[in-house]
Amino acid sequence: MTIIHRYLLKHLLRNFFVSLLAFTFLFVVFDFFDRFDNLLAENASFGTSVLYFLLKMPLTINLMLPVAMLVSTLFTIGMLSKQSEITAMRAAGLPILWLAKPILAFAFVLSLLSLVMGETLVPYTQRRVREIYNIDIKKNHLKGAYSQTDFWWRSGKRFNSADMFDSRTNSLLDFSSFDLDENYRVTKRTDASQVDWVNPTLKWTMKGVSEYKFGPNQTVETKKFNALPLLLDEKPEDFYETKTDVSTMSYRRLSKYLKQQRANGIPVTGYKTELYAKFSFPFIIFIVTLVILPFSLKPARSGSLAMSFIAGLIIAFSYYAVHSFSIAMGHAELWPPLLAAWMANLVMCVVGLILNLGAEAPA
């Protein structure tokens, strides 16, 4: 790495970490005051409240990475341009893209870091955040807020149904299961008035059980039991009626979720766009850095950073607009999912290259 590159990178890193710290702090402060009333109303303990906000930090940092990189690039190049340092470097015959090598390299590394965080730390912490807020703070499971009614689910060749899941007692009421053969004919039906969760070892127990076995000649064998164990892989938490937030799922978890939905007969083509976007969206950090570079040079001409920051806002809004539009086209199945996920990156990357090539003209 040359002396000039080290010089630029030193200024960039200082501005980046200051920006990241500032934006993360502001986000946490706003979130704290937004949740403060709820924490007081639920008498949440100090330790639980601190843990809740600490676990929100990985997602907050991941969201602030593009903003911090955009602002630090504008400020670093803008201030050096304002002081004519960039002008002197360009007068020595150094192209803009050559000068920007350490900045673009750092932006690419941040994109990879964002991708790794989105696949590992962020999904885990977001699950824990929801658990702490809904169970430890609001205690929704004790209030019946996690109860749901009239639902089906599939386990291999078995279909199960329940009239109600009561989260206060961790019980399935009016439960039925249907075992199917390879031709999807019902071979056995099991009804239970109630299914209770015992513990992680014994799992579920059925009460008031009626078992019907259907023979090949339309014969039916009926048995009744006071209680029987039930082999279910699901835990009570799996029946909690919560909103599925695909944006905070990892690629592996979302892929597994889509396979489950497909097995249940639910179309998932629209969601494939979200799946591919898990890899495309983190590169927003690299893309906005590439696009903003030419606008960072404006202070060399105008002496003001104001127009550069306005340009930064416009670029950020444009990226999100194109990305949202293409994702919507993917959901509507009007565009192939892979194209919809990467369209914004492709468009903005081309725009960035054109702007940088145009910026090579003499100031």
Q: pLDDT over 90 for what percent of the chain? A: 42
Tokens of 74: 């504008």
Q: Above 70 in pLDDT, residue 157?
A: yes
> What's domain 147-234's architecture?
Sandwich (2.60)
Is the CB of residue 344 less than 8 Å from the CB of residue 323? Answer: yes
Tokens of 169: 């007692």
Q: How far apart are CA 56 and CA 58, in angstroms?
A: 6
Nearest to 24 by CA among 51, 2, 54: 54
Is the CB of residue 167 less than 8 Å from the CB of residue 141? Answer: yes
Angle made by CA atoms 308, 311, 276, in degrees to the nearest 5 = 130
SS3 category, 363: coil
If residue 178 lies in a helix (H) or strand (E), which one and from where to where? strand 171-180
Nearest to 80 by CA among 60, 68, 96: 96
Q: Give mean pLDDT, residues 148-163.
A: 87
The conformation of residue 244, written as its DSSP 8-state character, comes to -
Residue listed under structure tokens 């899941």: 165
Nearest to 130 by CA among 115, 140, 121, 120: 140
* DSSP state letters, 189-209: EEEEEEEEEEETTTEEEEEEE
Q: List the domain boundaries for the chain.
A: 3-136+268-358, 147-234
pTM (global) more than 0.85? no
List, for residues 296-335, the tens digit of each pLDDT value: 766 545 556 677 778 777 888 888 889 889 999 998 888 9
Range in 145-154, 171-180, 333-342 with the lowest mean pLDDT: 145-154
Q: Above 70 in pLDDT, residue 268?
A: yes
Q: Above 90 in pLDDT, residue 237?
A: no
Nearest to 90 by CA among 288, 295, 292, 297: 297
